């Protein structure tokens, strides 16, 4: 094994991305925003000891992974939770793993490195979004008990407690703030990261 960490970034598709922003920005702008988010995540987490996979069934996402020099993982399952569980079979080949949503706008190289170091001293790290979703979960132990979907954070933490996992909740905005709806986008516009300013949306 040459790499220590494996990162999975689930991405549905680029046909109709970020649909909850449809009344705020047009389709081409949403595609540009989604691509910007994905590329920033990939840039921040890319390290010599890390394998990054886009988890998707969209061939355009496969092309993007190839363009960025990253890996692509697809299944015949069209269900995020089942796809991630299938992907988790790869964890046994690595010391540390991470599942990270693709709509986290404030990730920087500094925070990516910091969280990578923190994973090494924890069983499970987990973050909670405003709607009790799970934008980020990572660990150093075998795990396939993913519960993505409605109120997934509550389901994840319940599973972790019931199965005696030690976990730590991450509260920083870098791993909890997602561009999920119009109000998120308006807040985001008030504090724009450098990568977004280059997009000229």
Q: What is the 3-state secondary structure (H, E, C) of 125-166?
A: EEECCCCCCCCEEEECCCCCCCCCCCCHHHHHHHHHHHCCCC
pLDDT band at 121 (very low <50, low <70, confident <90, very high): confident
Kindly list the domain boundaries of the chain, sorted by start residue.
5-195
Task: Report which of 176, 24, 187, 51 is spatially closest to residue 101, judged by C-alpha positions.
Answer: 176
Pick the CATH number of 5-195 from 3.90.550.10, 3.10.20.90, 3.40.50.10470, 3.40.50.720: 3.90.550.10
The pLDDT value recorded for residue 130 is: 93
Contact (CB, 8 A) for 20 and 65: no
**Could you report the per-residue pLDDT of 69-105, keeping only the tens digit for each?**
999 999 988 888 899 999 999 999 999 999 999 999 9
The pLDDT value recorded for residue 77 is: 84
CA distance 192 to 105: 9
**Could you report the per-residue pLDDT of 133-183, keeping only the tens digit for each?**
999 999 999 999 999 988 999 999 999 999 999 999 999 999 999 999 999
Contact (CB, 8 A) for 56 and 78: no
Q: What single-letter DSSP state applies at residue 47?
A: -
């Amino acid at each position: 094994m040459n790499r220590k960490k494996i990162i999975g970034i689930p991405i549905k598709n680029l046909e109709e991305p970020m649909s909850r922003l449809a009344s705020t920005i047009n389709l081409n702008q949403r595609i540009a925003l989604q691509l910007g988010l994905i590329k920033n995540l990939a840039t921040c987490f890319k390290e010599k000891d890390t394998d990054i996979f886009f988890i998707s069934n969209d061939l355009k996402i496969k092309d993007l992974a190839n363009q960025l020099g990253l890996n692509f993982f697809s299944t015949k399952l069209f269900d995020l939770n089942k796809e991630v569980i299938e992907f988790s079979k790869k964890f046994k080949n690595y010391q540390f793993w991470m599942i990270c949503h693709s709509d986290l706008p404030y990730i920087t190289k500094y925070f990516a490195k910091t969280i990578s170091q923190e994973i090494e001293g924890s069983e499970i790290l987990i973050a909670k979004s405003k709607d009790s979703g799970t934008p980020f979960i990572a660990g150093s132990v075998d795990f396939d008990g993913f519960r993505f979907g409605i109120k997934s954070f509550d389901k994840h933490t319940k599973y972790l407690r019931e199965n005696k996992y030690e976990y730590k909740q991450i509260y920083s905005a870098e791993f909890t703030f997602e561009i999920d709806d119009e109000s998120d986008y308006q807040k985001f516009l008030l504090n724009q990261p450098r990568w977004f300013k280059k997009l000229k949306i």
